[in-house]
Every structure is written in C-alpha cells, then in structure tokens.
Amino acid sequence: MELNLVMLGPPGAGKGTQARQLRRKWNIPHISTGAMLREAVQAGTPLGREVAVIMESGGLINDDIITRVVTERLSQPDTRSGFLLDGYPRTIPQAESLDRMVGDRAPLIIIDIVLSEGEVVRRLASRMVCAECGTNAVGEGAACHDCGGPLVPRADDRKQVVLNRLKVYRDQTEPLVKYYGSRQTYCRIDGARLPDDVTADIIQAVEGVRPR
C-alpha cells in the first residue's frame, strides 16, 4: 500500500534524524528540499539550470520553482510506493499545490513534530555539522558517524540566527498546522522525547491512520 508522508516541525525538531529511520522502516525515499534542488541541478534539466542560476546568485527559490522541482521529483518511479517529504510544503500555496500533485494517490499523512522554542534553541546550540559531508550531529564526539570527517558548529545555529529562523517558521510554516490539523491523517508527535521514542510514536501514529 502506497505511503505518502509529510514531515513538519521547527528547526531542530529532529526531522532529518526521524526521516532516516522512517525511510528504512517503510522503504520509501526521503525527499528533502535541499536534496531535490541539488538533484535538479546535477541532472542538468532546464529546470535544474534555472535553479542553479538562482542559487549561484544567492536568490530565493520561490513557491512556483520549488513546486515544479517537487512535481518533477514525485514523478520518478521510486516514489510509486510512497515518499517522505521533508522541507516541503513550507507555505499554504505549496500545500495546496501538493494536494493537487497527489491527486488520486494515497492520502497524505502529516507528521507534525512539536518542540518548544526553548528546547529548539538549546538543541541547536549544541548541534554540529560534518565539514566533509554536511551530516548533522548533536553531542556525538569529534568525528562524523557517516564519513569520519571533523565536526564543526553550524553557521546558521547561532542564537540570533535561530531566533530569526523560528520567526520565519511561525510566520510561514505554522499556518500549515491549521491547514492540515483537521484531517484524520494529521499526527501530532511530542519531539522532546528520546529519538527512538519519537520514532516509535511516529510509527504507531502512522499505522493508526494509514489506509488499509
């Protein structure tokens, strides 16, 4: 049975960590906004070339372009059994476009990982990133668990930057909770627990609303 998941949550909620676990659990591709943009650029398609020009100039990817990137990605064969979207949608217009994209496919299941702002700031203050491969890590020693590269503080995790990112999240993305909240497939998850407990809660919630 096709399984289409959308992951919501503030910066630092652990969406990437959970996505790695869930994609293995259900054998569906984890599709992040950053990965989609990089894939489009690397593929050298007309859309990818358009995205590359914007990224190289430091411009912002607008709703129309990122929606076209997502549409292109979701048309690929590996998404036939489902997908896990991380970083899209971020706005109501994007959510409306996604609803049109899935059409008569299996309904979207929304995983909303909830975390207080104080916990977000605390977590991001301790977050590191691999200087070699870009993998995120929190309190995991001096070397990346994926490639062995050195871990360094993330430039976008300084307190003021984090507070600005939270404001953007509140202004642009939190309205998605209202958009999706009345659906039977909306799952609210406490993100303040240990990662394995959060994973277990997500699996239980998804299995409880997943069409049979």
The residues annotated with a catalytic role in the active site are 15, 90, 127, 154, 165
Q: Which two tokens stand for residue 84?
A: 């896990």
Residue 162 belongs to what H/E stretch? Answer: helix 159-168
Using left for φ > 0, alpha for ψ between -120 and 50, and beta otherwise, residue 82 falls in left
User: Which residue shows structure tokens 């929606």?
Assistant: 67
User: Which residue shows structure tokens 């912002």?
Assistant: 60
What is the distance between the alpha carbons of residues 67 and 61, in angstroms, rounded to a whole number? Answer: 10
